[in-house]
Structures are given as C-alpha cells and as structure tokens.
Amino acid sequence: DVVMTQTPVSLSVSLGGQVSISCRSSQSLVHNNGNTYLSWYLQKPGQSPQLLIYKVSNRFSGISDRFSGSGSGTDFTLKISRVEPDDLGVYYCGQGTQYPFTFGSGTKLEIK
Amino acid sequence: EVQLVESGGGLVQPGRSLKLSCVASGFTFSNYGMNWIRQAPGKGLEWVAYISSGSSYIYYAETVKGRFTISRDNAKNTLYLQMTSLRSEDTALYYCARHGERVMDAWGQGASVTVSS
C-alpha cells in the first residue's frame, strides 16, 4: 500500500497569514495514464471532509484561489494564503493512483 | 445540489452484522462510482471499499475484505455496505462518497457504527 506522510501534525497561523502543508508518498503517484492522483481534503470541525484540490493542483468547484497545490512524483504541498477563520480544521492529503486509496494522517490548522 | 444520506448505523455486538445504506440525489447516480470511507473516533480517514457505476469493478481494503460487501441499486439511487463478523476495530463513522476521477468529490454526513458488547 502507498503510505502518505503529512507534516506538520499541527500548525497555528494568524489571520491573513500563509501556511504550507507537506505530503509525501512512499511510491510515485504517477499513474500509468500519466496523471498524478493526489488530492487534498479539509474536514472542518464537526463536518464531513470536503474536496479542495485534485490531481495535484486543480481546485475543485467553488474552492477559493487562496488554496493552491503543487508537487510531483512523491512530494506535494498545499498552500493556503490569506488565511481566514473558516479555514480551520484538519487537512488530509489522499492518493487515488492505486488501490487501496490511502490518506495522510492529517494536519490540524488552528487560528492564532 | 449533490446529496448523500447514510443510514443504518448503530450499536452492534462483536461478531454480528449490520447493513449501511446511502441514498444519493442531485446527480445521475448510475454514472458514478462510489466509495465507503470510515473514520474511527478521533482518528484519520480510512478508505474501505469502491464500486464502479455498473458494479463491474469492486475493491476492498484488506482490513475488511471477506467481511464487508459493497453493492448498489441504481434504480433506487442507493449504495450499500453489508458488514459481517464485526469487530471492535470497525467502530467508526462511515461515510459514503462519490467517486470523481479517482477522488472523493462529495461526501455524506456519515453513519455511526459502534461495535461493543
């Protein structure tokens, strides 16, 4: 199975600030078809996860351009700029390149 | 608006069975693969199973293979998860999620399953 390692476990940021979350996979996430199926999800307190980013850098419908994804192969990053109160929660990276799909252990974002 | 509504959760004794349902609306259910993902209390996300739009392809996590069965009824816009031989470690909130291009692009609110004597 592909192991997804996220860092940091938690971070605290001031409103308006910028943060980066790292996600590393134990194997390349490049699929045979050339696509890289790395996605990012946000689980707000008491809510279900929601999709933010898919295929490394594509924002899902309705997602603010304050969220951006980058990376390739085994190393990926989620950046959140101009942090707002509604951004707090746990961020998960996930891979869909091969079954079983796997997720990182999560990064908890707190607002200072 | 895409909606996924799970039901069927509850308290069950170890070794017993339970069947979860997920009713979909707001999109053409028969065009999409579907997943079950679970989250143990205070823990992260664990993918459980996938079923393709026409039920031709089915995959399971090793932790549930042989005990859980994913199925769907496209005429009823409903996804199922039959869980047997339940263990304490199966205690979790079970989400159904729509399968986008190898991504979970819509999630339900979850059904709580507690396995305890």
Give the integer Cα–Cα distance in Å for A23 and B57. 29
Q: What is the pLDDT of residues A73-88, one digit of tens each?
A: 999 999 999 999 999 9
B72-89 pLDDT, tens digit per residue, is 999 999 999 999 999 999
Q: State mean pLDDT over B18-31.
A: 98
Q: Which among B45, B60, B101 is the nearest to A49, CB-wise?
A: B45
Give the whole-number percent of chain A exceeding pLDDT 70.
100
How many CB pairs below 8 Å do chains A and B form together?
61
User: What is the 8-class DSSP label of residue A84?
Assistant: -
**Residues B67 and B15: beta-carbon distance below 8 Å:** no
CB contact under 8 A, A94 and B101: no
Report whether the peptide linkage leading into residue A100 is cis, meaning its omega lies within 30 degrees of zero: yes
Contact B109 A102 (CB under 8 A): no
pLDDT of residue A58: 98
Q: What percentage of chain A reaches a pLDDT higher than 90?
A: 98
Mean pLDDT across A51-63:
98
**Is a pLDDT exceeding 90 seen at residue B100?**
yes
- Per-residue pLDDT band at B103 (split at 50, 70, 90): very high
> In angstroms, what separates the C-alpha of A14 from chain B's closest C-alpha?
25
**What pLDDT, on a 0 to 100 scale, did the predictor assign at position B46?**
98
What are residue A24's DSSP bridge partners? A5, A75
Distance CA B96, CA B107 (A): 6
Residue B1's pLDDT band, with cuts at 50, 70 and 90, is: very high
| CB-based contact A99 B95, cutoff 8 Å | no
Nearest residue, CB atoms, B103 vs list A37, A100, A106: A37
Alpha-carbon distance values, B100 to A10, A21, B33, B85 (Å):
28, 23, 8, 31
- Per residue in A1-40, pLDDT tens? 999 999 999 999 999 999 999 999 999 999 999 999 999 9
**Is A40 an interface residue toward B (CB < 8 Å)?**
no
Chain B residues inside the 8 Å CB shell of A6? none
Percent of chain B with pLDDT over 70: 100
**For residue B88, which phi and psi values (nearest 5 degrees)?**
-60, -35
Q: Tokens for B88?
A: 């304490």
**Residue B106, pLDDT score:** 98
Mean local confidence (pLDDT), B56-70: 98
Q: Dump pLDDT digits (tens) for B35-60.
A: 999 999 999 999 999 999 999 999 99
Average pLDDT rounded to a whole number, residues B3-17 = 98
A112 has pLDDT over 90: no
Distances (CA, A) of A105 to A5, A91, B42, B68: 7, 9, 11, 24
pLDDT score at A54: 98
Is some CB atom of chain B closer than 8 A to the CB atom of A18?
no
A63 touches chain B (CB under 8 A): no
Three-class DSSP category at B11: strand
